[in-house]
A and B are shown apart, each in its own frame.
Chain A
Amino acid sequence: GNSVTQMEGPVTLSEEAFLTINCTYTATGYPSLFWYVQYPGEGLQLLLKATKADDKGSNKGFEATYRKETTSFHLEKGSVQVSDSAVYFCALSDENGGSQGNLIFGKGTKLSVKP
């Protein structure tokens, strides 16, 4: 079945450091890919998305490119801020629905940014 694997955390960076959070997926068909962010004590917020191969999603300085050849959707940001500290989830749409639902999430990667 469809699945998402993202790098284990936690990730600790200094302010202004470069961020990469790896995400790879297994899927049949052509799913859409997403990054969600969860700040402490809050629900999930959609950070960015890509709906087809080679699409680049971007928002708030974060970027991710849908790479079909490597089945990856790595999240990057050139210069992180303390306010970026949160848990980041990679997800894909389960086009076939089935028993796994409409979004399949990775385990999440906790990012801590130190001043």
Chain B
Amino acid sequence: KAGVTQTPRYLIKTRGQQVTLSCSPISGHRSVSWYQQTPGQGLQFLFEYFSETQRNKGNFPGRFSGRQFSNSRSEMNVSTLELGDSALYLCASSLEDRGWETQYFGPGTRLLVL
């Protein structure tokens, strides 16, 4: 069974631009969560989607948004990029809503904002 895939793996953008990252969960998984990983703040939760509905949201500004499609694939969007948005963005999928015990992470998308 294929794992969680994230595209693109690497991305370079400039301040003020917007970016869209994609996550394809493991087949059959309906929950997708997104995390931001930076050297300073560590791993921080962004949001969680389950069956196309946002179930939970972390403490991030409105520039960060996401959605989930009927096939459980998820996208996150960051508008008006800032230098501080440079990070590794990790996606995780699980079978169930808030299924921490069965959460599988993708390899991440590394975003560099110049």
Contact = CB atoms under 8 A, between A and B. Distances in A.
Interface string B15-57: 0000000000000000001010000001111111000000111
A103 to B, nearest CB: 6
A26 interface: no
Given A32-B100, A100-B59, A43 B107 contact: yes
Interface residues of A, number: 26
Nearest to A41: B107
B66 interface: no
Nearest to B43: A105
Nearest to B59: A99
A45 interface: yes
A102 B58 CA distance: 9
A63 to B, nearest CB: 18
Given A100-B59, A101-B48, A101-B56, A49 B105 contact: no
Given A32-B100, A44-B90, A108-B42, A102 B107 contact: no
Nearest to B100: A93
A104 B59 CA distance: 12
Contact of A43 (B44, B101, B106): B106
18 contacts: A34-B100, A43-B4, A43-B105, A43-B107, A44-B43, A44-B105, A51-B101, A93-B98, A93-B100, A101-B48, A102-B48, A102-B98, A103-B45, A103-B103, A104-B45, A105-B35, A107-B42, A108-B42
Interface of B: 4, 33, 35, 42-48, 55-59, 90, 92, 98, 100-101, 103-108
Interface of A: 32, 34, 36, 41-46, 49, 51, 89, 91, 93, 97-108
List of 3 A-B pairs having minimum Cβ-Cβ separation, nearest first:
A101-B45, A105-B43, A43-B105
